[in-house]
Amino acid sequence: MGKQALEGVRILDIATVIAAPWAAGLLADLGAEVIKVEMTGRGDAFRAMGPLKDGKSIRWPSMGRNKKSVTLDFHYEEGKKLFLKLVEKSDVVIENFKTDTLDKWGIGIDVMRQVNPDIIVTHVTGYGQTGPYRKLAGLGTPLQAFSGMTYMQGYPDRPPVSPPFALADYVAGLYAAMGTMVALYHRDALKGKAQEIDVSLYEGIFRMEEAMIAQYDLMGTIRERSPMPSGASCPIGTFETADDKYVIIVCSTNPVFEHLCDAMGKRDEWLPKYAVAGDRLKDPKPIMTAVSEWVKQHTFAELKEKCDAAGVPISTIYNIKDCFEDPQYQARHDIVDVPCEEFGSVKMPGIVPVFSETPGEIKWAGQKLGAANEEVYGDLLGLSDAELADLKQQKII
């Protein structure tokens, strides 16, 4: 394995659960040395989160992959001193405690910068570091509702629904990883000052709601619940095939609609009458009905052949078994098998994105709690075996 893109970058992941630890994990995949600092005795709460197999979290091996797990209790003065020694030798701290918690513990940004003026600190909280809600507790699913996204999901005659996983957490994690990299570039390449990055759980989702924001501002329209995006494309929707499969077809551009006409057998009566999206959206029902009837006359294999030939994006709705069996997933190494102490081995998502010169690597699955204590505290900080034994006896590590 050649040199990785982020080799030489050391990150302290002192966060818990999903968003911030996931951000650190994305950077670990690409070569950053990530030291996962966990509470002595219990570790990250994510270790106990379901689904569970034999009482162990099946998600931890992926969330903790490529990280060096050390234990440390910040409540002890010696624990704070150890933490600051780690800060002194690191580039980034990623944390997600409630706003001002690190200051309350005596290890806030001002204290960190006394030992390392170049430290970058990435904060991930529910509502961000500013504003009237800055100190409120926040979790992904409630903050997803706060973002306005949940209101739009589902059917008009039923209650709103949330995604089946913590989407807001993972989106916030992406922004946290991106923000950390921008700050590193600004500090190292542009020779700028070290920064703090302020990521909230709701703003990553809200940033994607451009159409809804403009629609309300300029037209006074509140986007209501719909099982598919509405008001921008036609045809768009879920359609049932002759062999009882559900497929998604979306004509988000005028050329794609023309390609669909070709796939359906020209449909000369639709062009040029419906060549422009605005004309299709004025009265979408005839088009939607015709497409639904056309799909119902074909098996998915037949539809896929016709649509692929014509250049129309189409997909059946996959479950996770379908993903495992699909050759595209296999060719892209989207699912990888990683040795794991708890389960022998476990499959997990591959590394995204793909780099041509510095590909990422999964070096190991999530470690047992404190597995890297001797390596980090002994080799990196230079503590003796006696000092380590004393810290362990005091339950500081």
Residue 32 pLDDT: 98
> Mean pLDDT across the stretch 266-273?
85
Residue type for position 358 = T
Residue with structure tokens 């990435």? 122
| Edge-to-edge order in the sheet of strand 67-71 | 67-71, 33-38, 10-13, 92-95, 120-125, 196-200
State yes or no: pLDDT of 232 exceeds 80: no
Nearest to 252 by CA among 223, 283, 281: 281
E strand spans, the chain: 10-13, 33-38, 52-53, 56-57, 67-71, 92-95, 120-125, 196-200, 236-240, 246-250, 314-316, 335-340, 344-349
Given a cut of 70, whether residue 164 has pLDDT beyond it is yes
Q: How do residues 16-30 score in pLDDT, each as one tens digit?
A: 999 999 999 999 999
Sheet with 236-240, edge to edge strand ranges? 236-240, 246-250, 314-316
Q: What is the mean pLDDT of the chain?
A: 95
Q: Where are the alpha helices (DSSP H) in 89-207?
A: 101-105, 109-115, 140-146, 167-188, 203-206
Predicted confidence (pLDDT) per residue in 127-150, tens digit: 999 999 999 999 999 999 999 999
What is residue 343's predicted lDDT score, i.e. its pLDDT?
95
**341: confidence class by pLDDT, cuts 50, 70, 90:** very high
In 245-358, the DSSP E strands lie at 246-250, 314-316, 335-340, 344-349
Q: Catalytic residue among 29, 44, 73, 169, which?
A: 169
First to last CA, the chain: 33
- pLDDT of the residue at 46: 94
| Residue pLDDT, tens place only, 86-127 | 999 999 999 999 999 999 999 999 999 999 999 999 999 999
Chain segment 193-206, per-residue pLDDT in tens: 999 999 999 999 99
Stretch among 39-48, 135-144, 265-274 having the lowest mean pLDDT:
265-274
Q: What is the mean pLDDT of residues 156-173?
A: 94
The pLDDT of residue 266 is above 90: no
In degrees and rounded to multiples of 5, residue 258 shows phi and psi of -65, -40
The strand pair at 56-57 and 314-316 is best described as unpaired
Mean pLDDT value across residues 294-305: 96
CA distance 57 to 51: 6
pLDDT, mean of residues 164-175? 95
Each residue's pLDDT tens digit, 311-321: 999 999 999 99
Quote the CA–CA distance of 365 and 57 in Å, as a whole number: 12
Band the pLDDT of 395: cuts 50, 70, 90: very high
51, 13 Cβ separation under 8 angstroms = no
Grade residue 71 by pLDDT with cuts at 50, 70 and 90. very high
- How far, CA to CA in Å, does 347 sit from each of 343, 344, 390? 10, 11, 38
Give percent of the chain above pLDDT 70. Answer: 99
Is residue 228 pLDDT above 90, yes or no? no
Identity of the residue numbered 291:
V
pLDDT at 1: 61
Helix (H) or strand (E) holding 392: helix 385-393
Question: Which domains occur in the chain, in start order?
Answer: 10-207+331-393 (3.40.50.10540), 236-321 (3.30.1540.10)
Comparing C-alpha atoms, which of 91, 30, 27, 38 is closest to residue 60?
38
The confidence score (pLDDT) of residue 269 equals: 86
Q: 384 is written with which tokens?
A: 């003796």
pLDDT reported for residue 267: 83
CA distance 108 to 330: 45
3-state SS record for 191-234: CCCCCEEEEECCHHHHCCCHHHHHHHHHHCCCCCCECCCCCCCC
User: Is 91 marked active-site?
Assistant: no
Q: Please give the average per-residue pLDDT across 64-81, as a whole number.
A: 96
List the structure tokens of 47. 């270790």
Q: Which long-range contacts (CB under 8 A, 24 or more apart) does 236-239 make?
A: 237/288, 237/291, 237/292, 238/317, 239/291, 239/292, 239/295, 239/296
**Token pair belonging to 102:** 């690190």
